Protein backbone atom coordinates (compact mmCIF):
# COMPACT_ATOMS: atom_id res chain seq x y z
CA UNK A 1 0.00 0.00 0.00
CA UNK A 2 1.42 3.39 -1.13
CA UNK A 3 1.85 5.92 1.62
CA UNK A 4 0.91 9.54 0.93
CA UNK A 5 3.80 12.06 0.68
CA UNK A 6 4.56 13.91 3.87
CA UNK A 7 3.18 17.36 4.32
CA UNK A 8 5.67 20.08 3.30
CA UNK A 9 7.44 21.77 6.16
CA UNK A 10 6.76 25.50 6.11
CA UNK A 11 9.69 27.84 6.80
CA UNK A 12 9.83 29.43 10.21
CA UNK A 13 9.64 33.21 10.06
CA UNK A 14 11.10 35.01 13.05
CA UNK A 15 9.53 38.41 13.70
CA UNK A 16 11.35 40.87 15.90
CA UNK A 17 9.41 42.19 18.88
CA UNK A 18 10.88 45.59 18.03
CA UNK A 19 8.88 45.72 14.82
CA UNK A 20 11.76 44.96 12.42
CA UNK A 21 11.58 43.07 9.12
CA UNK A 22 10.96 39.29 9.18
CA UNK A 23 14.19 37.36 8.73
CA UNK A 24 14.52 35.87 5.28
CA UNK A 25 11.58 37.91 3.99
CA UNK A 26 11.70 40.47 1.20
CA UNK A 27 9.75 43.64 0.70
CA UNK A 28 6.84 41.73 -0.80
CA UNK A 29 6.47 39.62 2.36
CA UNK A 30 5.39 42.56 4.50
CA UNK A 31 1.69 43.24 5.04
CA UNK A 32 0.35 46.48 3.55
CA UNK A 33 1.09 49.56 5.64
CA UNK A 34 -2.10 51.15 6.96
CA UNK A 35 -0.51 54.55 6.49
CA UNK A 36 -0.08 53.89 2.77
CA UNK A 37 -3.72 52.87 2.48
CA UNK A 38 -4.78 56.09 4.23
CA UNK A 39 -2.65 58.15 1.85
CA UNK A 40 -4.26 56.53 -1.19
CA UNK A 41 -7.73 56.97 0.28
CA UNK A 42 -6.98 60.65 0.94
CA UNK A 43 -5.94 61.17 -2.67
CA UNK A 44 -8.95 59.25 -3.98
CA UNK A 45 -11.52 61.12 -1.91
CA UNK A 46 -10.09 64.61 -2.43
CA UNK A 47 -9.94 64.22 -6.22
CA UNK A 48 -6.59 65.90 -6.76
CA UNK A 49 -5.19 66.27 -10.28
CA UNK A 50 -2.71 63.60 -11.39
CA UNK A 51 0.39 65.81 -11.00
CA UNK A 52 -0.82 66.98 -7.59
CA UNK A 53 -1.47 63.40 -6.50
CA UNK A 54 2.08 62.38 -7.40
CA UNK A 55 3.49 65.29 -5.42
CA UNK A 56 1.25 64.70 -2.38
CA UNK A 57 1.90 60.96 -2.41
CA UNK A 58 5.65 61.49 -2.45
CA UNK A 59 5.60 64.06 0.33
CA UNK A 60 3.34 62.03 2.60
CA UNK A 61 5.30 58.81 2.10
CA UNK A 62 8.58 60.60 2.77
CA UNK A 63 7.24 61.91 6.05
CA UNK A 64 5.78 58.51 6.99
CA UNK A 65 9.17 56.86 6.38
CA UNK A 66 10.95 59.62 8.30
CA UNK A 67 8.69 59.49 11.37
CA UNK A 68 8.10 55.72 11.42
CA UNK A 69 4.95 56.38 13.44
CA UNK A 70 1.25 55.96 12.90
CA UNK A 71 -0.54 59.16 11.94
CA UNK A 72 -2.21 59.24 15.38
CA UNK A 73 1.14 59.14 17.19
CA UNK A 74 2.75 62.05 15.33
CA UNK A 75 3.26 65.08 17.58
CA UNK A 76 3.84 68.80 16.88
CA UNK A 77 7.42 68.19 18.03
CA UNK A 78 7.86 65.59 15.29
CA UNK A 79 6.67 68.06 12.68
CA UNK A 80 9.02 70.71 14.03
CA UNK A 81 11.97 68.33 13.76
CA UNK A 82 10.89 67.31 10.26
CA UNK A 83 10.76 70.94 9.16
CA UNK A 84 14.25 71.47 10.57
CA UNK A 85 15.54 68.44 8.66
CA UNK A 86 14.02 69.73 5.41
CA UNK A 87 15.76 73.06 5.91
CA UNK A 88 19.08 71.35 6.68
CA UNK A 89 18.75 69.49 3.37
CA UNK A 90 18.69 72.86 1.63
CA UNK A 91 15.01 73.04 0.71
CA UNK A 92 13.75 76.53 0.02
CA UNK A 93 11.03 78.02 2.25
CA UNK A 94 8.40 77.52 -0.46
CA UNK A 95 9.26 73.80 -0.69
CA UNK A 96 9.23 73.38 3.09
CA UNK A 97 5.84 75.11 3.27
CA UNK A 98 4.48 72.89 0.51
CA UNK A 99 5.45 69.79 2.49
CA UNK A 100 3.87 71.19 5.68
CA UNK A 101 0.70 72.26 3.87
CA UNK A 102 0.40 68.78 2.37
CA UNK A 103 0.51 67.29 5.87
CA UNK A 104 -2.00 69.87 7.08
CA UNK A 105 -4.38 69.01 4.25
CA UNK A 106 -3.99 65.30 4.97
CA UNK A 107 -4.68 65.68 8.71
CA UNK A 108 -7.74 67.83 8.06
CA UNK A 109 -9.06 65.08 5.79
CA UNK A 110 -8.18 62.43 8.40
CA UNK A 111 -10.33 64.20 10.98
CA UNK A 112 -13.23 64.71 8.55
CA UNK A 113 -13.07 60.98 7.79
CA UNK A 114 -13.30 60.07 11.48
CA UNK A 115 -9.72 58.86 11.44
CA UNK A 116 -8.58 61.33 14.09
CA UNK A 117 -10.29 62.15 17.43
CA UNK A 118 -12.44 65.27 17.23
CA UNK A 119 -11.55 66.27 20.79
CA UNK A 120 -7.79 66.34 20.18
CA UNK A 121 -5.83 69.09 18.41
CA UNK A 122 -4.15 68.11 15.18
CA UNK A 123 -0.34 68.02 15.25
CA UNK A 124 -0.33 70.43 12.31
CA UNK A 125 -2.30 73.08 14.25
CA UNK A 126 0.78 74.25 16.14
CA UNK A 127 3.13 74.50 13.15
CA UNK A 128 3.82 77.86 11.54
CA UNK A 129 4.97 78.14 7.97
CA UNK A 130 8.35 79.43 6.88
CA UNK A 131 8.62 83.08 6.02
CA UNK A 132 9.54 83.51 2.38
CA UNK A 133 10.43 86.32 0.06
CA UNK A 134 7.70 87.82 -2.06
CA UNK A 135 7.84 86.15 -5.47
CA UNK A 136 8.94 88.36 -8.32
CA UNK A 137 6.77 88.99 -11.35
CA UNK A 138 7.40 86.23 -13.90
CA UNK A 139 5.68 87.61 -16.99
CA UNK A 140 7.59 87.89 -20.27
CA UNK A 141 8.54 91.42 -21.22
CA UNK A 142 7.30 92.71 -24.59
CA UNK A 143 10.83 92.87 -26.01
CA UNK A 144 11.54 89.27 -25.02
CA UNK A 145 8.23 88.14 -26.49
CA UNK A 146 9.15 89.89 -29.73
CA UNK A 147 12.46 88.03 -29.81
CA UNK A 148 10.65 84.71 -29.35
CA UNK A 149 8.29 85.39 -32.22
CA UNK A 150 11.22 86.40 -34.41
CA UNK A 151 12.71 82.94 -33.81
CA UNK A 152 9.35 81.37 -34.62
CA UNK A 153 9.42 83.05 -38.03
CA UNK A 154 12.62 81.17 -38.94
CA UNK A 155 12.22 78.17 -41.21
CA UNK A 156 12.19 74.91 -39.25
CA UNK A 157 10.31 71.62 -39.59
CA UNK A 158 8.45 72.17 -36.28
CA UNK A 159 7.69 75.87 -36.63
CA UNK A 160 4.05 75.43 -37.72
CA UNK A 161 3.42 73.43 -34.56
CA UNK A 162 5.56 75.62 -32.32
CA UNK A 163 3.78 78.82 -33.36
CA UNK A 164 0.43 77.21 -32.56
CA UNK A 165 1.67 76.01 -29.16
CA UNK A 166 3.03 79.43 -28.16
CA UNK A 167 -0.21 81.04 -29.32
CA UNK A 168 -2.21 78.67 -27.09
CA UNK A 169 0.13 79.04 -24.08
CA UNK A 170 -0.18 82.81 -24.46
CA UNK A 171 -3.87 82.46 -23.54
CA UNK A 172 -3.11 81.30 -20.01
CA UNK A 173 -3.17 77.51 -20.33
CA UNK A 174 -0.94 75.40 -18.14
CA UNK A 175 1.60 73.27 -20.01
CA UNK A 176 -0.19 70.08 -18.93
CA UNK A 177 -3.51 71.46 -20.22
CA UNK A 178 -2.04 72.39 -23.60
CA UNK A 179 -0.42 68.97 -23.91
CA UNK A 180 -3.73 67.23 -23.07
CA UNK A 181 -5.72 69.00 -25.80
CA UNK A 182 -7.31 66.98 -28.59
CA UNK A 183 -8.41 68.28 -31.98
CA UNK A 184 -12.03 67.86 -30.90
CA UNK A 185 -11.48 70.45 -28.15
CA UNK A 186 -11.24 73.20 -30.77
CA UNK A 187 -14.41 74.59 -32.39
CA UNK A 188 -12.80 77.25 -34.55
CA UNK A 189 -13.08 79.99 -31.93
CA UNK A 190 -12.75 78.49 -28.46
CA UNK A 191 -10.76 75.76 -26.78
CA UNK A 192 -12.40 73.39 -24.33
CA UNK A 193 -9.80 72.98 -21.61
CA UNK A 194 -9.83 70.13 -19.12
CA UNK A 195 -8.21 71.80 -16.15
CA UNK A 196 -5.27 70.07 -14.51
CA UNK A 197 -6.19 71.67 -11.18
CA UNK A 198 -9.49 70.18 -10.05
CA UNK A 199 -12.09 68.47 -12.18
CA UNK A 200 -13.68 71.42 -13.99
CA UNK A 201 -13.73 72.18 -17.71
CA UNK A 202 -13.20 75.67 -19.05
CA UNK A 203 -13.78 77.55 -22.29
CA UNK A 204 -10.94 79.75 -23.53
CA UNK A 205 -11.47 81.98 -26.59
CA UNK A 206 -8.43 82.55 -28.80
CA UNK A 207 -7.50 85.84 -30.43
CA UNK A 208 -7.70 86.19 -34.22
CA UNK A 209 -3.94 85.82 -34.55
CA UNK A 210 -3.87 82.70 -32.37
CA UNK A 211 -6.74 81.18 -34.34
CA UNK A 212 -4.78 81.73 -37.54
CA UNK A 213 -1.72 79.93 -36.18
CA UNK A 214 -3.74 76.99 -34.86
CA UNK A 215 -5.75 76.55 -38.07
CA UNK A 216 -2.56 76.75 -40.14
CA UNK A 217 -1.01 73.97 -38.06
CA UNK A 218 -4.09 71.75 -38.40
CA UNK A 219 -4.13 72.36 -42.15
CA UNK A 220 -0.44 71.42 -42.31
CA UNK A 221 -1.19 68.20 -40.42
CA UNK A 222 -3.87 67.33 -42.97
CA UNK A 223 -1.30 67.66 -45.74
CA UNK A 224 1.09 65.20 -44.05
CA UNK A 225 -1.22 62.20 -44.41
CA UNK A 226 -1.38 59.14 -42.18
CA UNK A 227 -0.23 59.55 -38.60
CA UNK A 228 -0.67 63.32 -38.71
CA UNK A 229 -4.21 63.67 -40.07
CA UNK A 230 -6.17 65.82 -37.58
CA UNK A 231 -8.87 63.31 -36.60
CA UNK A 232 -11.16 64.69 -33.92
CA UNK A 233 -9.98 62.22 -31.29
CA UNK A 234 -6.29 62.72 -32.06
CA UNK A 235 -3.96 64.83 -29.88
CA UNK A 236 -3.80 68.50 -30.82
CA UNK A 237 -0.02 68.76 -30.67
CA UNK A 238 2.14 65.94 -32.00
CA UNK A 239 5.79 65.06 -31.58
CA UNK A 240 7.78 65.28 -34.83
CA UNK A 241 11.07 63.62 -33.89
CA UNK A 242 11.74 60.31 -35.70
CA UNK A 243 11.42 58.21 -32.53
CA UNK A 244 7.91 59.35 -31.55
CA UNK A 245 6.54 61.14 -34.61
CA UNK A 246 2.75 61.27 -34.61
CA UNK A 247 2.41 60.69 -30.88
CA UNK A 248 1.11 63.25 -28.39
CA UNK A 249 3.67 65.91 -27.49
CA UNK A 250 3.91 65.33 -23.76
CA UNK A 251 4.46 67.71 -20.88
CA UNK A 252 8.25 67.24 -20.93
CA UNK A 253 8.43 67.59 -24.69
CA UNK A 254 6.53 70.85 -24.56
CA UNK A 255 8.86 72.17 -21.87
CA UNK A 256 11.89 71.17 -23.93
CA UNK A 257 10.53 72.92 -27.01
CA UNK A 258 9.92 76.21 -25.17
CA UNK A 259 13.33 76.09 -23.51
CA UNK A 260 14.98 75.53 -26.90
CA UNK A 261 13.17 78.55 -28.32
CA UNK A 262 14.37 80.64 -25.41
CA UNK A 263 17.96 79.51 -25.93
CA UNK A 264 17.86 80.47 -29.63
CA UNK A 265 16.28 83.83 -28.76
CA UNK A 266 18.85 84.45 -26.02
CA UNK A 267 16.26 84.62 -23.23
CA UNK A 268 17.20 83.09 -19.89
CA UNK A 269 14.74 81.31 -17.61
CA UNK A 270 12.02 80.87 -20.20
CA UNK A 271 9.47 78.12 -19.54
CA UNK A 272 5.80 77.52 -20.44
CA UNK A 273 4.41 78.88 -17.16
CA UNK A 274 5.80 82.34 -17.88
CA UNK A 275 3.31 82.66 -20.75
CA UNK A 276 0.58 82.05 -18.19
CA UNK A 277 1.95 84.86 -16.05
CA UNK A 278 2.00 87.11 -19.13
CA UNK A 279 -1.65 86.33 -19.82
CA UNK A 280 -2.60 87.21 -16.23
CA UNK A 281 -0.70 90.48 -16.59
CA UNK A 282 -2.38 91.26 -19.90
CA UNK A 283 -5.97 90.63 -18.81
CA UNK A 284 -5.40 92.80 -15.73
CA UNK A 285 -3.76 95.59 -17.72
CA UNK A 286 -6.71 95.62 -20.10
CA UNK A 287 -9.17 95.99 -17.23
CA UNK A 288 -10.79 92.55 -17.42
CA UNK A 289 -12.85 91.84 -14.31
CA UNK A 290 -10.76 89.61 -11.97
CA UNK A 291 -13.71 87.21 -11.76
CA UNK A 292 -13.51 86.68 -15.52
CA UNK A 293 -9.71 86.55 -15.41
CA UNK A 294 -9.84 83.71 -12.89
CA UNK A 295 -12.37 81.85 -15.04
CA UNK A 296 -10.22 82.15 -18.15
CA UNK A 297 -7.18 80.85 -16.27
CA UNK A 298 -8.96 78.13 -14.30
CA UNK A 299 -8.17 79.72 -10.93
CA UNK A 300 -10.51 79.69 -7.94
CA UNK A 301 -8.48 81.58 -5.34
CA UNK A 302 -8.03 85.37 -5.30
CA UNK A 303 -4.66 84.86 -3.61
CA UNK A 304 -3.42 82.60 -6.40
CA UNK A 305 -4.70 84.97 -9.08
CA UNK A 306 -2.71 87.80 -7.52
CA UNK A 307 0.51 85.91 -8.20
CA UNK A 308 -0.12 86.39 -11.90
CA UNK A 309 -1.07 90.05 -11.70
CA UNK A 310 1.46 91.51 -9.27
CA UNK A 311 3.64 92.79 -12.12
CA UNK A 312 0.81 95.07 -13.26
CA UNK A 313 0.21 96.51 -9.80
CA UNK A 314 3.90 97.21 -9.22
CA UNK A 315 4.19 98.93 -12.57
CA UNK A 316 0.99 100.91 -11.95
CA UNK A 317 2.27 102.01 -8.53
CA UNK A 318 5.53 103.27 -10.05
CA UNK A 319 3.69 105.11 -12.82
CA UNK A 320 1.28 106.69 -10.32
CA UNK A 321 4.18 108.00 -8.23
CA UNK A 322 6.01 109.47 -11.23
CA UNK A 323 2.81 111.12 -12.40
CA UNK A 324 2.20 112.56 -8.91
CA UNK A 325 5.61 114.29 -8.88
CA UNK A 326 5.27 115.55 -12.41
CA UNK A 327 7.60 113.03 -14.00
CA UNK A 328 5.02 110.87 -15.70
CA UNK A 329 5.48 109.60 -19.21
CA UNK A 330 3.85 112.70 -20.69
CA UNK A 331 6.45 114.95 -19.08
CA UNK A 332 9.54 112.92 -20.03
Confidence tier at 12 by pLDDT (50, 70, 90): very low
Is residue 196 one of the residues assigned to a domain?
yes
pLDDT tens digits, residue range 256-306? 999 999 999 999 899 999 999 999 988 888 889 989 999 999 888 888 888
Is residue 295 one of the residues assigned to a domain?
no
78 and 157 share a domain?
no
Confidence tier at 331 by pLDDT (50, 70, 90): very low
- Answer whether 56's CB lies under 8 Å from 21's CB: no
Q: Which residues, 6 or more positions from 153, have their beta carbon under 8 angstroms from its beta carbon?
A: 159
Is residue 16 one of the residues assigned to a domain?
no
168 and 58 share a domain?
no
Average pLDDT, the chain: 85
146 and 266 share a domain?
yes
CATH of the domain at 265: 1.10.443.10
Average pLDDT over residues 245-260: 94
**Does residue 47 surpass a pLDDT of 90?**
no
86 and 185 share a domain?
no
DSSP letter at 249 equals -
DSSP letter at 70 equals -
pLDDT, position 6:
54
- Report how many helices (DSSP H) and strands (DSSP E) the chain contains, helices first: 12, 2
148 and 219 share a domain?
yes
| CA 162, 167, 170, 175 torsion-angle sign | negative
Confidence tier at 199 by pLDDT (50, 70, 90): low
CATH of the domain at 121: 1.10.150.130
Q: Strands of the chain (E only): list them.
A: 190-194, 201-205
Residues listed for the chain: 332
39 and 114 share a domain?
yes
Q: Which domain holds residue 197?
A: 142-272
SS3 212: helix
pLDDT tens digits, residue range 53-65? 899 999 999 999 9
Overall domain count for the chain: 2
Is residue 23 one of the residues assigned to a domain?
no
150 and 241 share a domain?
yes
94 and 179 share a domain?
no
Q: Among 245, 272, 299, where does a domain finish?
A: 272
CB atoms within 10 A of CB 229: 14
Closest CA to 79 of 38, 33, 129: 129
pLDDT tens digits, residue range 219-237? 999 999 888 999 999 999 9
Q: What global pTM score does this model have?
A: 0.65
**Does residue 124 surpass a pLDDT of 50?**
yes
Amino acid sequence: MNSSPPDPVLPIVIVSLEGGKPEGGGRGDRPPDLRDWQIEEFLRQTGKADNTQRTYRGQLKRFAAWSNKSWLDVSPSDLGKYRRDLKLKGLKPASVNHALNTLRSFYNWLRRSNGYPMNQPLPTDAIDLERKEEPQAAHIEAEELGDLWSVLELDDKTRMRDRAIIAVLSHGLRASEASALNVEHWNGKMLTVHRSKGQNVGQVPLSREARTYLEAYLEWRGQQGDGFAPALESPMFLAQDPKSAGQRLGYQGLHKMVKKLGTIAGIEGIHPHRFRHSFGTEVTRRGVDPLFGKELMGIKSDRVFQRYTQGVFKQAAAEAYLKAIGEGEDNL
